Amino acid sequence: RTFFATLLLSLAPMLVLLGIGAVTTGSITPLMVSLAIVVACVVAFVVLLLLWLVIAHGLLAVSGGTAMGIGGTYEAMCWSSGPVLLLAVPCFGLYLLPITVAWWMVCATLMIMRSQAVGAVRATLCVGAAPMLVLLGGVGAAVWGLANMNTFFAGTAFHSAAFNQRQAQHVLDGVIFHMRLTGPPDHPLRYVEDARFASDDLRLLDPGAWSPTHDIWLGTGSVDDFLRMGRERREEVVAGLLGADTHGGAAQRLGDMVFVTAGIDIDAADPGVWLLVVSIDPARRATASAGLRSRILVGDASGSVEEIEEGAWPERLWEQEELRASLGLPAIGDVRDLPFTPYGAATAP
């Protein structure tokens, strides 16, 4: 009873806050989910306590016997659970877990010494065996993780490459859909405006650099800000970006996506003509992983996406320029170095 009373007291602040949240929001769904999590944590806590109890008493029994049975060990473990109240400290309770466990171990050792009539060394070793096994297991897992980090990153790089391929395909599909409806847009922000893409769709995943995707700064706001603007303000931003574009509009970058759709009639286009080139933004190339810096993906009018090896890029670009010239389309140049020119401030405030 003492153990469960201590456990419930440690959870009381959380339960009170959950109740207040349910009253203020008028919804009990978050409360029910949180209560389910609390119940699961309590069950896990009790199971761990029982395992600790069995291990401690088993070691006491095989190392010389005890004055009382397992009930005496159980009572000592529960009576010594007062330090669990530290977990009730708002915000910091979880961080006090190591102190809680250490304090509980000391209290349990002292009580077992008296109740089971065993020496200090024996009680300490038996009570501390289970927590030490958990600690050693955690250290072992950390060492194993560090030793296999290269394998992990190799797998992550593979999955990120596959993700980038799907990401490029998603953007290409949106481009083709938009072009079939309205033709090539004056600026790639039109795809965002029509809810084809979000900012994360326009940034390549780069786990090797440990950098999450970020919103794209346009100069007077971000892409996500653009979505919240009124129509007149959106037109002003698009006009400003077009005015700041010094590359003629044949290739327009937005994030890591370069759109090369100018002058193309998608319904009559040669299947091999490129609509999209995916290459990391030069502004973040210095911090990107080596694999991402060299990654080049192209999407053509047939709707397919292809990855081009860096060494083959010059020849493939030359072939594309020849095709575009034969179709009367403007040259796109080496879009890998094409920067994005913001309209207004160059960096976010």
pLDDT tens digits along 320-349: 999 999 999 989 888 888 877 666 555 544
At 241, the amino acid letter reads L
Q: Is the dihedral of CA 295, 298, 304, 307 positive or negative?
A: negative
The CA distance from 256 to 199, in Å, is 10
> Helix, strand, or coil here: 149?
helix
Cβ neighbourhood burial of 277 (10 Å; 0-12, 13-18, 19+): buried
- CB contact at 8 A, 192 and 226: yes
Q: Tell me which residue has tokens 């599909």.
A: 173
Q: How far from 111 is each of 45, 107, 224, 245, CA to CA, in Å?
A: 21, 6, 60, 77
H helices of 183-307, where?
A: 189-193, 223-228, 231-244, 290-293
CA–CA separation, 191 vs 200, rounded Å?
13
16: left (phi over 0), alpha (psi -120 to 50) or beta: alpha
User: Are the beta carbons of 193 and 218 closer than 8 angstroms?
Assistant: no
Check residue 229 and report its DSSP letter. Answer: S
Q: What is the pLDDT of residues 58-102, one digit of tens each?
A: 998 888 888 888 888 888 888 888 888 787 776 677 788 889 889
Q: What pTM was computed for the model? A: 0.55
Is residue 256 within 8 A of residue 280, CB to CB? The reply is: yes
* pLDDT tens over the chain, length 349 residues: 555 565 566 666 666 666 666 666 556 666 676 677 777 777 887 888 889 889 999 998 888 888 888 888 888 888 888 888 787 776 677 788 889 889 989 999 999 998 888 889 998 999 889 888 888 988 888 888 777 655 544 444 445 677 788 888 988 998 898 888 888 887 788 877 776 677 778 877 765 554 444 567 777 777 777 777 888 888 888 888 777 665 556 888 888 889 998 889 999 999 999 999 998 888 877 777 777 778 899 999 999 999 998 889 999 999 999 999 999 998 988 888 887 766 655 554 4
In eight-state DSSP terms, residue 222 is B
Radius of gyration of the chain from its Cα atoms, rounded to whole angstroms: 31
